[in-house]
Amino acid sequence: MKKIIFLFFIFGLSIKPLLAQSKLAFYEDSLQRLGTTFTNDTVEINRIQANYQFIKTLVSALKEKNSFAYPFKNLSSFISIKKAEDNKFRIITWFVVNDDGTSRYYGAIQMNNPSKLALYPLLDNTQNLQRSTNLADTTLNPNQWYGAVYYHILPVTNLKKPYYILLGWKGENLETSSKVIETLYFENGKPKFGTPVLQSQPKVNDYHERMIFNYTKDASMLLSFAKDEGMIVFDHLVALSNAPVKSMDKIYAPDLSYDGLKFKSGKWIYLENLKLKNLPTEEDDLFIDPSKDSQNTNPVIKEQ
């Protein structure tokens, strides 16, 4: 009898994780259908309503025990889920396109908390932030987020105040896209965006909290971490007109040269005209620029 009870106990322990996985898979199927709608439906109100339901369903799924470990692989066409190397959190981001060609961004940071859901929603505040003259140097809470879809997390943890570098893509409008270097840190366990560690120009003692690169949708822009060189590398952008480059309203494109940021003493130092032996490749082609069917990491300028 004791042996039978023991077997039932072991069976009970083993089946609970399976039931949890099965429930998460059920949620994933629902999320996949909703993601297809907010990505592909031609009617804006249908996309908005599907996304609203997607958010509610995703939160319900994340409330399930051990959801942090569930990868949601079938959602990779709709959302980006990136986990920090130290396993402390993962960041979930996506966007919905409006009829006018702009996009609204959605996201959340899920902490690795096995006892309960620790989730910080990210509220897109792009419209207000773009009116700011000091966007590069503004610390933001999750409810003030400068929306983007992140495709790489780079930890900088061997410091008194550790932080993370986030590399992201942001569709702006029908003409331009952006790449974003964002900084993220945790204060009393809560996320904040923005710490001044990114040098703005070569040989200038000026450090930003984020860097934003606007470029024409007719071109692809490289922004990636080159592991072999230990650098963040990116295409050098130039204005497509002959006018002086002073306004963010101008249209930019890569010019076949590369710049980058090299880590030194807790900060990232700006370097120009890099000679790269092997160009890095982006991790997630879908979220580099969804307006293109395929991506080419080599810089291209298409004259207007």
> What pLDDT band is residue 229 in, cutting at 50, 70 and 90?
confident
| Residue 44 amino acid letter | E
Which of 10-14, 149-153, 262-266, 298-302 has the least mean pLDDT? 298-302
- Specify the length of the chain in residues: 304
pLDDT at 17: 54
> What pLDDT band is residue 1 in, cutting at 50, 70 and 90?
low
Contact 60, 30 (CB under 8 A): no
What is the chain's mean pLDDT, rounded?
Answer: 85
Render pLDDT for 70-122 as a digit per residue (tens, 0 to 9).
Answer: 999 999 999 999 999 999 999 999 999 999 999 999 999 999 998 899 999 99
Contact 54, 32 (CB under 8 A): no
Render pLDDT for 273-288 as a digit per residue (tens, 0 to 9).
Answer: 998 777 666 554 444 3
Give the predicted TM-score (pTM) of the model: 0.85
Q: Print burial letters for 108-142: b (CB count within 10 Å at least 16), e (below 16).
A: bbbbeeeeeebbbebebbbeebeeeeebbebebbb
Render pLDDT for 113-144 as a digit per residue (tens, 0 to 9).
Answer: 988 999 999 999 999 998 877 999 999 999 99
In the sheet with 103-111, reading across from the earlier edge strand, the strands are 80-83, 89-97, 103-111, 119-123
